[in-house]
């Protein structure tokens, strides 16, 4: 996008934050501020205070690595290198400003603090460019801008189901007055059998769901990454917009999409097993399907149900596909791992299974793929071309899925790990999901 075309888009919240002039302007301002923070007159600055600031920044950067990856350990795979780099740059700016501020007057102090804040903004912008969490201000403000609607739980006496050997789209004809868009609702899905305390789920109902007669639509369960919240699929991935576009091309038909919580809290890692941590497998294989059956009119049977996810959610989708194949007939794994982990196999087995490695192997998806055959399960494996860490694992999963008799496909997408892959990935895979669940031929 050129500066001219950007300028004519009057609403600033729609200006792109991950490409175009804005992130490059922030980058230039940040590096310029860092340079100015590092330049000062006097031997004391060059001989003592600048080296002290550099040493302090280096020490703090190491401390962050130790605390985040060694002690807290919120990411099993550790912080990405580029995130560590930009954290170090922000810390350097803070240290430089800290060593300058005491010897400056008020105006100089304000400029030093402002410069450090610009570097912090630059670092945040570059991390955002890597993950693509907020491609625009509108996405960043989505939790406040997006409105959910009350979930439609009423039932229709007249329904349309796909006859044997045909897809639903082959027998469905949209009635007049069909809504142009589907609805997004926020609703609790209790852990009735599992006891799992999940946060509220999000549910997308396509335009055709609101028609009379009502088509019995397939169900796709989508799981986000860790850390994360269920509404990431709506606010960040904008999956409802992709589904609306799909529905517009298919007479209002699209899958019902249920976006439950498999974490319990933003930073938790439940591993998606039934373990000492939580009974998340039971939640996703029993509680969620039973809730859908009680509150929604949808197609039944494993052939009409698919589970998908991104990152940790992709790993979870693989787990459910092989541990509960009677529920889910297909799965979408975007940038998942080859096995659930808290960091190491030993740590995972000790925390989740009390040190019982046999209990872990009994539900470990890669182990199951070597012991069982899944000829009636379809798999889509998606990963970023430059995502070296997860790509190696996804390639391993793909080969194991083929060896287990699955109808599997492997798709590489441009980019690394994050919503830069997950957002276009789910949109690209909607036709495949529709075919696997009997919505389209």
What the chain holds in terms of domains, given with CATH numbers, is 3-131 (no CATH), 149-436 (3.40.50.1820)
Q: ∠ at Cα 26 (232, 114), nearest 5°?
A: 105
* pLDDT reported for residue 4: 52
Q: Is the pLDDT of residue 25 over 90?
A: yes
The 10s digit of each residue's pLDDT in 181-198 is 999 999 999 999 999 999
pTM reported for the whole predicted model: 0.92
The 10s digit of each residue's pLDDT in 354-387 is 999 999 999 999 999 999 999 999 999 999 999 9
**Percentage of residues of the chain with pLDDT beyond 90:** 91
Q: Is the pLDDT of residue 65 over 80?
A: yes
Q: Is the pLDDT of residue 132 over 90?
A: yes
3-state secondary structure 312-369: HHHHHHHHHHHHCCCCCCEEEEECCCCCCCCCCHHHHHHHHHCCCHHHHHCCCHHHHH
**Percentage of residues of the chain with pLDDT beyond 70:** 98
* pLDDT reported for residue 76: 74
* pLDDT reported for residue 9: 54
Residue 2 binned pLDDT confidence (cut-offs 50, 70, 90): low
The 10s digit of each residue's pLDDT in 379-437 is 999 999 999 999 999 999 999 999 999 999 999 999 999 999 999 999 999 999 999 99
* pLDDT reported for residue 193: 98
Q: Is the pLDDT of residue 12 over 90?
A: no
Q: Is the pLDDT of residue 8 over 70?
A: no
Q: Is the pLDDT of residue 152 over 80?
A: yes
Looking from the CA of 34 toward its CB, the CA atoms found within 13 Å total 20
Exposed, middle or buried: residue 173 (CB in 10 Å: 0-12, 13-18, 19+)? Answer: exposed
Per-chain mean pLDDT for the chain: 95
Structure tokens belonging to residue 297: 């009119």
Longest CA–CA span in the chain (Å) reads: 86
Q: Are the CB atoms for 398 and 349 separated by under 8 Å? A: no
């Amino acid at each position: 996008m050129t500066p001219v075309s950007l300028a004519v888009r009057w609403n600033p919240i729609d200006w792109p934050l991950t490409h175009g002039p804005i992130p490059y302007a922030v980058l230039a301002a940040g590096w310029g501020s860092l340079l100015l923070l590092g330049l000062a007159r006097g031997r004391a600055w060059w001989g003592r205070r600048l080296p002290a600031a550099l040493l302090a920044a280096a020490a703090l950067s190491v401390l962050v690595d130790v605390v985040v990856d060694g002690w807290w350990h919120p990411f099993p795979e550790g912080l990405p290198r580029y995130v560590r780099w930009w954290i170090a740059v922000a810390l350097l700016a803070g240290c430089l400003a800290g060593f300058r501020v005491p010897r400056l007057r008020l105006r100089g102090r304000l400029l030093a603090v402002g410069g450090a804040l610009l570097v912090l903004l630059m670092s945040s912008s570059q991390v955002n460019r890597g993950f693509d969490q907020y491609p625009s201000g509108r996405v960043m403000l989505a939790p406040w801008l997006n409105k959910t609607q009350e979930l439609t739980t009423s039932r229709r006496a007249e329904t349309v189901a796909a006859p044997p050997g045909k897809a639903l789209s082959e027998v469905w004809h949209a009635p007049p007055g069909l809504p142009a868009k589907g609805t997004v609702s926020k609703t609790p899905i209790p852990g009735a059998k599992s006891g799992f305390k999940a946060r509220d789920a999000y549910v997308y109902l396509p335009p055709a769901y609101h028609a009379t007669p009502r088509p019995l639509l397939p169900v796709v369960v989508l799981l986000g990454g860790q850390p994360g919240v269920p509404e990431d699929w709506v606010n960040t991935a904008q999956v409802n917009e992709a589904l609306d576009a799909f529905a517009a091309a298919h007479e209002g038909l699209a899958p019902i999409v249920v976006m439950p919580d498999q974490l319990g809290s933003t930073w938790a890692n439940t591993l998606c097993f039934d373990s000492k941590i939580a009974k998340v497998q039971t939640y996703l294989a029993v509680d969620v399907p039973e809730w859908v059956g009680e509150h929604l009119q949808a197609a039944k049977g494993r052939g009409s149900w698919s589970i998908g996810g991104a990152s940790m959610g992709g790993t979870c989708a693989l787990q459910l596909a092989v541990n509960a194949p009677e529920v889910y007939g297909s799965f979408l794994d975007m940038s998942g791992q080859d096995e659930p982990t808290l960091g190491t196999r030993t740590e995972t087995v000790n925390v989740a299974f009390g040190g019982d490695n046999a209990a872990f192997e009994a539900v470990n998806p890669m182990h199951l793929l070597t012991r069982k055959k899944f000829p009636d399960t379809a798999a889509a494996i998606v990963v970023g071309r430059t995502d070296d860490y997860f790509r190696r694992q996804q390639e391993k999963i793909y080969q194991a899925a083929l060896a287990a008799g699955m109808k599997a496909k492997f798709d590489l997408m441009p980019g690394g790990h994050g919503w830069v892959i997950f957002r276009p990935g789910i949109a690209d895979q909607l036709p495949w999901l529709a075919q696997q669940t009997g919505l389209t031929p």
